[in-house]
Amino acid sequence: MATMTAEQRRAEAKAEFDAYMETCPTSRLMAVLGNKWTTTLLNRLADHGTMRHAELARSVPGISAKMLTQSLRALERDGLVTRHVTAAVPVQVDYTLTVLGETLIPIVATVRAWADRHMPDVEAARGRYDGARAGEAVPSPRDR
Amino acid sequence: MATMTAEQRRAEAKAEFDAYMETCPTSRLMAVLGNKWTTTLLNRLADHGTMRHAELARSVPGISAKMLTQSLRALERDGLVTRHVTAAVPVQVDYTLTVLGETLIPIVATVRAWADRHMPDVEAARGRYDGARAGEAVPSPRDR
DNA sequence: CTGTATCCCATACGATACTG
DNA sequence: CAGTATCGTATGGGATACAG
């Protein structure tokens, strides 16, 4: 059908892209860690060990119930956390890092260390870039 | 006005979120690295040193001209790469990592090392999870 | 060669409301 | 308590065409 053309085009493009991305584990990992709450959740679990749903919710300000569940599901699917249900009057669900998940913690810690040290520089660069583009003087104190 | 309510709600929510995210450099960094082409471009520049626009385009299969420019602009804004224009008959634009950008390379390398070693495990976990949910028996490590 | 402008789709994220 | 369902918006990302 003629209506297939556009969709087909997109399918091809996606296939082409995936063919490349398939060979790039780094990108695939970043797609996981790049999600808004992933690193935060991993860090909380690393710090507190096993945690309940509500406990995590309290521990991570701003996260919605939906995103909490969704993010944890994704991590479970990726084999990074386990989900344990305890049948009780109020159901109790515990989340824990898997051994695989634990191996990821030092990596996140490394990233965190760089972020703590250098993100201010990045923010400053953004300010300079945006300020300069906004027509404001402030050309460039120190770049490169 | 009544029409402000929804928009105002969202503004508050965003403010609340930003207030938290502002305190979390790691999340902000991940938002950068999580973009589809960021790590790939950083790696290419780290490997080849200064590169031209077209050179990068050839070096990164599947990237569109738009995303190449857009990604590089973002990196420039963040102070991670410099953009140097050489006025000539066909304009020539070179991109290079800044010193700040170079400090990020070891971090990316660390991430890459984990990804190379453990992403297959993640993929396997996904296969198991999806296979089990699909109603197919095959709860075992070998499906297909 | 390098970059911009449009258009459009897919998805991430959030608010709200509702089940076991 | 934990989770699902539905809805809505914002943004990332790609195709195409055009311009300096």
Residue nearest to nucleotide D3 (CA to C1'): A69
Q: How many CA atoms lie within 13 A of B7 on its CB side?
A: 4
Coil, strand or helix at A91: coil
**Which pLDDT tens digits describe chain A residue by residue (144 residues)?**
434 444 454 455 445 555 666 679 999 999 999 999 999 999 999 999 999 999 999 999 889 999 999 999 999 999 999 999 999 888 999 999 999 999 999 999 999 999 999 999 999 999 999 887 665 544 444 333
Q: Is the CB of B86 under 7 A from strand C?
A: no
Contacts of A118 (CB under 8 A, 6+ apart): B100, B103, B104
Task: Give pLDDT, residue A139.
Answer: 43
CA of B21 to nearest chain A CA: how many angstroms apart? 9
- Tell me how far apart the alpha carbons of residues A27 and A15 are, in angstroms, rounded to a whole number: 16
CA B107 to chain centre: 13
Q: Please state, in angstroms and rounded to a whole number, the distance separating the CA atoms of residues A107 and A91.
A: 33
Given this model, what pLDDT does residue B131 score?
Answer: 82
Taking a C-beta distance cutoff of 8 angstroms, is the pair A78, B118 a contact? Answer: no
From B1's Cα to the closest Cα of chain A, the distance in A is: 27
- Any chain A CB within 8 A of the CB of B61? yes
Q: Would you state the torsion angle of the CA atoms of residues A30, A31, A34, A36, taken in this order, to the nearest 10 degrees?
A: -160
B126 Cβ nearer than 7 Å to chain C strand: no
The first and second tokens of residue A73, run together, are: 């599901």
Protein residue at shortest CA distance from C1' of D20: B91
State pLDDT tens for residues B16-71.
556 666 679 999 999 999 999 999 999 999 999 999 999 999 999 889 999 999 99
- Check the CA dihedral B112-B113-B116-B119 and report its sign: negative
Closest CA to A63 of A51, A71, A75: A71
HSE (side-chain half, CA atoms, 13 Å) at A103: 14
Rounded to whole angstroms, the Cα distance separating A87 from B130 reads 24
Q: Which nucleotide is nearest to A92 (CA to C1')?
A: D1
At residue A14, the pLDDT reads: 47
Minimum-distance nucleotide, CA of A89 to C1'? D1
Nearest 5°: phi and psi at B27? -60, -40
Tell me yes or no: is domain B23-133 CATH 3.40.50.720: no
Q: Which residues of B41-74 are buried (b: 16+ CB within 10 A; e: fewer)?
A: bbbbbbeeeebebeebeebbebbeeeebeebbeb
For chain B, the structural domain boundaries read 23-133
What is the residue type of A8? Answer: Q
Average pLDDT over all residues of chain B: 84
